[in-house]
Amino acid sequence: MKGLYCNPGDQGDVKFVSQETNVPTIIGDHQVKVQVKSCVLSPVDFKLYEDLKLEKEQVPVGREIAGVVLQVGPKVTFFQPDDEVVGILPLDAEQSGLCSVVVTDEYNLVQKPEKVSWFEAAAVIKDGLRAYTALHTLARMAAGQTVLVLDGAGPFGVLAIQLAHYHGVKVLATALSPEDQRFLEELRPSVARVIRVWDSKEDLVDSCLEETGGLGVDIIIDSGVRLYDEEPEAQRHYPHKHDLLTLLSVGGHWVTTEHHLQLDPPDSHILFLKAASLSFLNDEVWTTSRAKQGRYLHILKDVMDKLCTGTFRPQLEDPVPLYEATVSMEMVQRKQTRKRIAVKL
């Protein structure tokens, strides 16, 4: 049985290799053996592995899986053989999600609704978790608020918009290209305003303040931030941190994905004057710490329910066969795709 693994190079290059791996013959008391039907590819964050002291010579690739339970441990209570399940393998998993069979704890999985496809279930599980973490856990979203979703046409941005709409929140979103703008304008329920950050004539701060009557937005979810005026070309569409502080409302919440965000004393003073808060979005905490295991599983189940009812509609490329997984993963790692790529097993 083969799985996909990656070797981080000394110069920052990454090599993806397919290699033979063995399934444990004996499974633990609370473990489940799953036949994988679909695995969705996401970039590997080597810095996170290093920070958590989980460095390995070969890091397993593919953690969002959907499949059928083959065998359960003697103390497993959540599942039985032949159950259809979906989940996220933890960072310390030894097996790649692209193995035909994986063994994992029952606490990493939830039931997959029957009428949901394998590919959609695996594609929505991680981005849905991120959207819930950002909007519910960190920002305490409430009906009637206004949220700004930066890069609204990305896989995570789309689900954040759909979740906000479901809870009666007014949504503003940025588009990085004319294609993204067309996509966002065609979304239903509709986005209140699509802000063209690719167009130098349109200003992010002015657009948001105009749309909110000068009060600012209650919640900001970013996809990266410019810390300095001179940044690489790849970050030209990222907003400057001062712009986000300016358009944040009194009592607002800024949820950032920027690992190295630096706030100078004047920046902190603006947050103080607005009684606003800043939170860092790291959805991996749910599996690295078991402190809120019940809430984590509740979120995963709710994500599946919203996929089943059509609230969540993930952005998904056509499923690719296993032999194309290496090439597809290289594209994902270089962030050359705008939709999720699911591998069919």
Query: Does one domain contain both 212 and 119?
Result: no
Contacts of 117 (CB under 8 A, 6+ apart): none
Enumerate residues 6+ apart whose C-beta is below 8 A from 277: 252, 253, 254, 271
Q: What is the count of structural domains for the chain?
A: 2
Domain of residue 197, CATH code: 3.40.50.720
Same domain membership, residue 228 and residue 261: yes
149 lies in the same domain as 271? yes
Q: Which residue ranges in the chain fall short of pLDDT 50?
A: none
Same domain, yes or no: 153 and 188: yes
68 and 102, same structural domain? yes
Q: Are residues 114 and 174 in the same domain?
A: no
Residue 285 domain flag:
no
CA–CA gap between residue 25 and residue 338 (Å, rounded): 39
Hey, what are 314's tokens? 């993930």
Q: Are residues 258 and 157 in the same domain?
A: yes
Note whether 149 and 256 are same-domain residues. yes
Could you tell me the CATH number of the domain that includes residue 67? 3.90.180.10
Q: Which of 280, 300, 329 is the last residue of a domain?
A: 280
Per-residue pLDDT at 309: 96
pLDDT at 193: 95
Q: Are residues 13 and 83 in the same domain?
A: yes
Pairing label, strands 84-88, 109-111? antiparallel
Burial class (CB in 10 A: 0-12, 13-18, 19+), 189: exposed
Give yes or no: residues 223 and 196 share one domain: yes
Nearest CA to 196 out of 210, 212, 182 is that of 182
Domain range for 272 is: 143-280
User: 247 near 186, Cβ under 8 Å?
Assistant: no
Strand segments (E) across 127-222: 146-149, 170-175, 193-196, 217-221
- What is the reported pLDDT for 10? 55
pTM for this prediction: 0.94
What pLDDT does residue 308 have? 96
Given 280, 296, 326, which residue is the final one in a domain? Answer: 280
Q: Which of these three, 259, 280, 301, is where a domain ends?
A: 280
Burial of 322-342, coded b for 16+ CB within 10 Å and e otherwise, reads: eeebbebbeebbeeeebebbb
Domain co-membership, 147 together with 275 = yes
The distance of Cα 216 from the centroid of its chain, to the nearest Å, equals 26
